[in-house]
Amino acid sequence: MTTTKKIIMKLACATALGTAGVALTQVNRPQITVNAATTSVAARALGVDVASYQSADLSSHAQAGSQFAIVKVSEGTTYRNPKASSQISTAISNNMMPMAYHFATFSSNSSAAVDEANYAIKAAQTFGLPKDSYIACDYETGQGNNIYGGKTPTANAIIAFMDQIKAAGYKPLLYASSSVLRNNIDTNSVIVKYPNSLWVASYAISGRIDNPNFNYFPSMEGVSIWQFTDNWRGLNVDGNVAVLPLSIDGNTTSNDGAISQAPSSTPSKPATSSKQTNNEPTNNEPANNEPATSGYVMKKSYVYNKKGERISSSYASYTNINYYGGATKLDNGKTALKVGEDRYIMASNVLGNSRVLKHNAYVYKNNGYSRANWRVLRKGTPIKTYGSRSHINGKSYYRIGKNMYVKCGNF
């Protein structure tokens, strides 16, 4: 979603985006009036969010299973997405429920937030977004937006934006990463006024994800939509799942009191992976029936006893496991997850460690030379790394996803 990331990709793919030159010029269009083909989606419905670097025709996204589309309509008070009209109309024609988002640049300035909201409303109307649709405030770092203006002033500015959206007859949402929602915004004051208004971004791993794994759901109050990947089903588009039923049927409080479809604190137990090494252990449930949580081993994990002594078994990378209880300390001080009776693996191989990039970074494959994808990870972005350092061709890397590595020196 970050705009600076998108601009870099535009430069790398200029031939595919021949219309990018008009993206910085406001285009006057006649107002389009359309009726939504889909006015509601059920909880657990999948959807995408798109901007000018994606196709103007969202038919392929609908064919892949998307039931709603959140279209970028504007940014600041000078930019409109030149593809928004087509993206909204093709979403509707393909029976996807349309929504919109605006990339905020108002930082913590409530007056500027009102101006941006009015700009977003006019853009949405011009592009044919149906009345009573959702319009999200995309609040993140980029394009001069300062997210460090204080939790309370920032929340007040966001609420001012949302108030304008509601006054114009639309439903306001707030998009941000789970980290920004927890650390940079008084999020509670937002959801007190606008219950179930959060659209949260949080990825279990980097790279392609086809379906959300709710074991990695960022549990917090007030979430209606979860953005769980930036490469849904290989389409290089953000993937989202509705946590609550969503509706543009005229009921402006349709989410109030709805039952969340996020997991309970005790997830159901998945089937174990068939990809096991010859000496890989099976999941032996403890005798005291501790609640099981499913996990995904991101780096080869040796098994230890409570004393921290390694025993003769291991789990291969990319294996599904069950672990019992939460992270715990072994006698040697290491943090581990219990996978059976007196059997533990290092927690960082499953849960990862959150690190913040100090430099812009490329993502590499396991040979250390080939780029894993087009992404440039931006300075200041929190990234989840798994396990200890990997040494490839004399250089140190952290694994951030399946066959995806970032140089340690960038953290």
Pick the closest to residue 45 from 284, 320, 243 (CA basis).
243
Would you state the pLDDT for residue 1?
A: 65
Chain position carrying tokens 């909880």 = 43
pLDDT per position as a tens digit, 143-153: 889 999 999 99
Compute the chain's Rg from CA coordinates.
Answer: 22
Q: Is 49 a catalytic residue?
A: yes
Position 371 scores a pLDDT of 80
Specify whether 290 is catalytic. no
3-class DSSP state of 325: strand
Of the pLDDT bands very low, low, confident and very high (cuts 50, 70, 90), residue 217 is: confident
Cβ atoms of residues 140 and 1 within 8 Å: yes
| Res. 252: pLDDT tops 90 | no
Report the DSSP pairing between strands 404-407 and 395-401.
Answer: antiparallel
Which of 33-37, 189-193, 331-335, 352-356 has maximum average pLDDT? 189-193
Q: Tell me the pLDDT tens digit for each residue of 260-290.
A: 444 443 333 333 333 333 344 444 555 455 6
pLDDT in the model for residue 26: 33
Of the candidates 75, 138, 140, 280, the residue annotated as catalytic is: 140
Comparing 378 with 155, the larger pLDDT belongs to: 155
The predicted-structure confidence for 185-208, as pLDDT tens digits, reads as follows 999 999 999 999 999 998 877 778
Closest by alpha carbon to 125, among 91, 159, 88?
88
Q: Categorize the per-residue pLDDT at 380 as very low, low, confident or very high, splitting at 50, 70 and 90.
A: confident
* Per-residue pLDDT tens digits for 97-129: 999 999 999 999 999 999 999 999 999 999 999
Where is pLDDT greater, at 294 or 194?
A: 194
How many alpha carbons lie under 13 Å from residue 354 in its C-beta half-sphere? 8
